[in-house]
A = this chain, B = another copy of it.
Amino acid sequence: ARLVATYLALMPAAEAQEIKSLIKYEEETAGSLMATEYLAVKAGEKVRDVLAQVKKQAEEAESITYIYVVQSDNRLLGVVSLRDLLTHPDEMTIDTITNTRVISVKAGDDQKDVAQVVANYNFFSIPVTDDTGHLLGIITVDDIVDVLDEEAVEEYSGLAAVNVADTDDTAWHSALKRLPWLLGLLVLGMVSVAMVASFEDTIRQAPILAAFITIIGGTAGNAGTQSLALAVRHFGAGTEKSGWKNLFSEILAAAVVAVVTGLVLALVVFVWKSNDGLALAVGLSLAAAVLVSAVLSHLVPAFLNKINLDPAVVNGPLVQTICDWVAILIYFGIAQAMLDQFIGK
């Protein structure tokens, strides 16, 4: 959808061509997505004349649902729907049926933000302008459907550390797609192994400590995955509030989650083992690991968004691995410090 512009009675073809060739748009922007075959007319024209122009240009235009009304320098003034043209008398000027509260996007806008606008307003198409309001093209909703699909697949793939776009792979290709992240995470997982191994003596003294590695690391990882998903969705949806306000809100939510899960685990361990020292050490470790994991998993995508990278590149399993590191260090740190209070009980 990047062909030659058809301006109706607006400017010589050569000039349009010149403008077009001057402008290059970055990938994933409104500019790269737009079609330049839109219908535009000047204010003050009669319904009959506009209809005649629409008939003449209908074959080439990307969409005839809307006709844009522009100034002589192609600055966007408003929009008339074909529906309104068809239902109003031929002799009327279009000014009376022109909607001047037209919502447009800028050529440099991110396609994700454009998709959100179109989805929120249920538009069939949206005009694209340059920074000074000159009409450059239109984006139709069928292209937005593709963008939404693409972005959803990207987010979802990120959360699972595998590209889910092609569902018709052979077993061999499917395996090759999954291996890179799995192997990378395996190498990072060796850090966890080395961390636990460095606490071998502590485990020798209290083998029961080994039993809680999975639940503390796992719960921290789950809390981290939730934070990550909420952050990616939040920044992806473009409903960004102030970064500090977000962070503060996330810390509060993470703290509530941390305290509740920590208390529950401490209680269960106390009932099961009648060992208050162990219950305290395990509960405290879980609460601390959950809090740090959740906040970290919010901060990383928030930071990526801040520096204009896609927050969806942080994947779920990577977050799980990092949460494991956090959990192991906190857990064995606390357990070692409190060893005297629960050993041999």
Binding site for B on A (CB under 8 A): 54-55, 58-59, 64-65, 82-83, 86-87, 118-119, 122-124, 141-146, 148-149, 152-153, 155-157, 159-162, 164, 167-168, 170-172, 174-175, 178-179, 181-183, 185-186, 189-190, 192-194, 196-197, 200-201, 203-204, 207-215, 217-219, 221-223, 225-226, 228-230, 233-234, 237, 239, 248-254, 256-257, 260-261, 264-265, 268, 316-317, 320-321, 324, 328
Question: Measured between alpha carbons, how far is A161 from B124 in the docked complex, in Å?
Answer: 34
Residues of B within 8 A of A167 (CB): 230, 233-234, 237, 239
Question: Measured between alpha carbons, how far is A214 from B326 in the docked complex, in Å?
Answer: 12
Q: Please tell me if the beta carbons of A196 and B222 are within 8 angstroms of each other in the complex.
A: no
Question: Measured between alpha carbons, how far is A225 from B261 in the docked complex, in Å?
Answer: 23
Which B residue's beta carbon lies closest to that of A157? Answer: B229
Residues of B within 8 A of A316 (CB): 159-160, 225, 316
Q: Please tell me if the beta carbons of A203 and B214 are within 8 angstroms of each other in the complex.
A: no
Which B residue's beta carbon lies closest to that of A251? Answer: B171
Residues of B within 8 A of A162 (CB): 226, 229-230
Q: A152-B156, A186-B261, A260-B183 are in contact. Are A172 and B203 (CB under 8 A)?
A: no
How many copies the complex holds: the figure is 2
Taking a contact as CB atoms closer than 8 A, the residue among B142, B208, B254 that contacts A197 in the complex is B208
Residues of B within 8 A of A178 (CB): 223, 226, 253, 257
Nearest CB of chain B from residue A314's CB, rounded to whole Å: 12
Q: A185-B219, A207-B200, A219-B185 are in contact. Are A179 and B141 (CB under 8 A)?
A: no
Residues of B within 8 A of A189 (CB): 214-215, 218-219
List 28 interface pairs A-B (beta carbons < 8 Å), by A numbering. A58-B87, A122-B143, A122-B145, A122-B146, A123-B142, A141-B141, A141-B145, A148-B149, A155-B156, A159-B316, A160-B225, A160-B229, A161-B226, A162-B229, A162-B230, A167-B230, A171-B253, A175-B252, A181-B222, A183-B260, A185-B218, A186-B219, A196-B213, A197-B208, A207-B210, A210-B210, A218-B317, A222-B317
